[in-house]
Amino acid sequence: MSLDALKSAVPDYAKDLKLNLGSVIGNSDLPAQQLWGTVLATAIASRSPIVLRELEPEAKANLSPEAYSAAKSAAAVMAMNNVFYRTRHLLSDPEYGTLRAGLRMNVIGNPGVEKVDFELWSLAVSAVNGCGQCLDSHEQVLRKAGVDRETIQEAFKIAAVIQAVGVTLDSEAVLAASAE
C-alpha cells in the first residue's frame, strides 16, 4: 500500500481525513526532508501499525539514510521526553521542575541532520503525544532559528491528520475483527 492506498482505506464517514491526508502530504510546502521526516516521526508516534506500515516505505524512499534515522530518533526520544515533561508539568508540586531530569537525550544535540529539521519533527511528535511543555520548547527553538509560524503549523497539521487516520483505521480493524 502507499499514500493513495492508505487514503482509499479511510472509510466514507471520515472523508475529511482522506482529503486532509492527501492535502497535508501531497500539497505541502515543506521541503521533502522536513515533510517526509515529519510523516515518518508522526506515523511512529501515532502507534498505528497500519499507518506506519503504509507510510514508512515512502518516507524511506524520500529521505537520506541519515534523515530516516534522525526522524526515527526524534520519535524515540520524544516518546520518552513527552511522558517525562508532561508528567512533571502536570504534577501540582513545582519542586519536580527543579530536579535534574537525569535522562539521556544526546540525539537532540547531535541528530545527524539540520537542527531545524529535527526540532520540527520533535515538535510534531510532541503534538501527537500532547506535551505542552515540549511543544513550547521546540516552537521557541524553531522561532529563534527563523522558522515561520506557517511552517510550524504545517508540521502539527501533518501530526493531527496522521494521528486521526491511525485512530480511525485501527478502530475499523478492531471493529471488523470483532464482527467476525
Please list the active-site residues: 131, 134
80-111 CB burial, b ≥16 within 10 A, e <16:
ebbebbbeeeeeeeeeeeeeeeeeeeebbeeb
* Residue 43 burial by Cβ neighbours in a 10 Å radius (0-12, 13-18, 19+): buried
Q: How far apart are CA 29 and CA 154, in angstroms?
A: 8
| Residues present in the chain in total | 180
Do residues 123 and 77 lie in contact, with contact meaning Cβ atoms separated by under 8 Å?
no
